Chain A
């Protein structure tokens, strides 16, 4: 059965994030609370945070995943900074050890007794907002294809790489559909590469998570990104259902004006307690 390969340090998998850093990301975010470029930064910082925590154990961060980040805007290329500047891929442990800074923020959490308390949390920041230039989405997908293909050459039996594109969808170098198809035609022995899209729109439509068809979506950009997104594999779909997401066999890895953190929970590296809050 596909998408069942063990994810381990001896057989790691891969995440590749594509960050839209174009000028249009300076526009307001339709979901409220700032600009789209800030939402991109929040999204990638949150994804890296959650992936690090998932892989963290007593002795450190286990390299169950290798991670790459490509930015696209004024130029297309690796977007990691600091010691990892210029690197297309790095083990998650290296990323965990290299945030630009760690902020202390307050978040409201359930106290387990029906109340809410404020809790201080450490929030590492790897990326700050950038919005400049065009939106060469086809070009970044082609670059992603090259990066993923190289990875698959070295890890042919891995759980298939997951590429997550965070964008407002307004491509300026033609239709990205063909480049997306070429990327998702790559495969390991365990299945095809997955492409998920996080659409951050200036439109104020209701958030969507893993829709079943494009008919539910508000505009051409959302529909195009939906059609570029991979259908959720069975195991991921089952995990989503057990968390209360209304998904079906046609649901795709696409979210509109929402985050995609839940996907990290859906991935299986071993026992995850059902009562882990």
Chain B
């Protein structure tokens, strides 16, 4: 099985690039000539109202890809939370934190997570906490959306993965089968909401020709037209391919 993998991102309008709090993995560039039995990828969205959220989001996506996080359970989260605390300690060693930063850190960080694993036997599996979304697209036929199916399902208060391992939220799991010609889109919430609510824009978002410059232009125009909420946006497109037989057991897509 081979993979085409592309990722694009843009920080919230008005923010600096280093204030982007989404994350995706694997990191670019990716060798498409490589052959995979299983390909894992993920996006995550660090919560605005918690601190060091982007760092937590990055730890989660990396852990999903390298299989240190295979399910949402206390011991795995505890280990990753330890990594988060160590990373912060390293960053803040030379300068003590002001009172509000100490107080805020004690509340921990929160993030969504959407992790996808694609297998050469034609199966796929996704794990999700929060409102980052997956779209399994069979061009000109169907789109399967997970976990949300309509724009109304989004709000600003989803339950998210916390660095506090005692505050575990259950992950949702989805499974399916893919075939040559299908592709997958992973998105954080603002873009996912835009994708679900603006059918006519879907072709542009999923276009093969899309590059980082065109992506930024598309998002900035959409923000200006107030059809895309101003927030960090992340798009990952994964196109697996091999010569799989078409027959029973394939498919399973449904119209949104």
Contact = CB atoms under 8 A, between A and B. Distances in A.
Interface of A: 6, 8-10, 52-54, 56-61, 96-97, 99, 102, 111-113, 121-122, 124, 242, 268-277
Contact of B49 (A112, A242, A273): A273
Nearest to B162: A275
A271 B99 contact: no
Nearest to A112: B166
A273 B104 contact: no
A277 B167 contact: yes
A271 B14 contact: no
A273 B103 contact: no
Contact of A273 (B51, B54, B102, B159): B159
Interface string B152-174: 00001111101010110100000
Contact of A56 (B54, B101, B159): B101
A276 B166 CA distance: 12
Nearest to B188: A271
Given A102-B99, A277-B167, A270 B49 contact: yes
A271 B98 contact: no
B36 to A, nearest CB: 33
B100 A276 contact: no
B100 A52 contact: yes
16 contacts: A8-B230, A58-B54, A61-B100, A112-B164, A112-B166, A112-B167, A113-B166, A268-B156, A270-B49, A273-B47, A273-B110, A273-B160, A273-B162, A274-B157, A274-B159, A277-B107
B231 A270 contact: yes
Contacts of A8: 14, 230
Which residue, of B52, B54, B101, B158, has the highest number of chain A Cβ atoms within 10 A? B101
Interface of B: 14, 19, 45, 47-52, 54-55, 98-104, 107, 110, 156-160, 162, 164, 166-167, 169, 189, 230-231
Contacts of B55: 58
Contacts, number: 96
Given A58-B55, A271-B45, A276-B49, 11 more contacts: A53-B100, A53-B107, A54-B49, A57-B51, A59-B19, A60-B98, A269-B49, A270-B47, A273-B50, A273-B160, A275-B159
A234 B176 CA distance: 40
Contacts of B52: 58
Contact of A271 (B47, B100, B230): B47
A248 B79 CA distance: 45
B218 to A, nearest CB: 20
Given A57-B51, A270-B231, A271-B49, A122 B160 contact: no
Contacts of B107: 53, 276-277
B39 to A, nearest CB: 28
A12 to B, nearest CB: 11
Contact of B169 (A52, A122, A275): A275
Contacts of B156: 268, 270-272
B47 A272 contact: yes
B63 to A, nearest CB: 19
Contacts of B100: 52-53, 56, 61, 96, 124
B167 A275 contact: yes
Give the 9 A-B CB pairs with smallest separation, nearest first: A270-B48, A112-B166, A273-B110, A273-B160, A272-B49, A274-B157, A56-B104, A10-B14, A56-B100
A58 B99 CA distance: 12
Contacts of A274: 157-160
B191 to A, nearest CB: 14
A54 B48 CA distance: 9
Contacts of A121: 103
B159 A122 contact: no
A111 to B, nearest CB: 8
Nearest to B110: A273
A136 B47 CA distance: 43
A54 B189 CA distance: 21
A132 B217 CA distance: 60
Contacts of A99: 99
B117 to A, nearest CB: 25
Contacts of A59: 19
A224 B158 CA distance: 38
Which residue, of A52, A54, A56, A273, has the highest number of chain B Cβ atoms within 10 A? A273
Contacts of B164: 112, 277
A9 B16 CA distance: 12
B102 A269 contact: no
A164 B157 CA distance: 25
A99 B103 CA distance: 15
Contacts of A242: 157
